[in-house]
Amino acid sequence: MSNVYDKAHELSRSLRDSDEFQQLKNLHVQVEEDEVAKRMLDNFRNVQLELQQKQMQGQQPTEEEITQAQQQFEMVQQHEVISLLMEQEQKVSTVIGDVNKIITEPLEELYGNPDDPENVQ
């Protein structure tokens, strides 16, 4: 089992050293150091989070809330550094998703993946 943890730490380090992560970190620092950008992004994230929490509780967001979220999304999209940051977050998130798929392959072979046509039960 210790080998599993060693390999996890090696993977973690290679993720930290990757260009994708280093670029994400740089953009993150740029936003943190720009008071206006930081406030804009914080507001956007808070509105997103509130919407998600509502939906998780089975509540329907109001039309006003949806409009507000869309307007904030358009605003942050027009901010160059924030939009680059969000693109970079998407890239890193895709890598993490791929990595999770690779790691859980042994489990999928046991339990089957319902999305995989080979595993129709």
For a copy of itself, the binding residues (CB under 8 A) are 1, 3-12, 14-21, 24-25, 28, 56-59, 92, 95-96, 98-100, 102-107, 110
When asked if residue 42 is in the footprint of Ca ion (CB under 5 A), the reply is no
CB 24 within 8 A of CB 92: yes
Confirm or reject binding of residue 6 to Ca ion (CB under 5 A).
yes
Contacts of 32 (CB under 8 A, 6+ apart): 38
Compute the least distance from the CB of residue 6 to Ca ion, in Å.
4
Say how far apart CA 81 and CA 107 lie, in whole Å: 39
Instruction: Select from 4-12, 20-28, 69-77, 107-115 the region that touches Ca ion (CB under 5 A).
Output: 4-12
The position carrying tokens 């940051």 is: 85
DSSP annotation of 1 reads: -
Interacting residues with Ca ion (CB under 5 A): 6
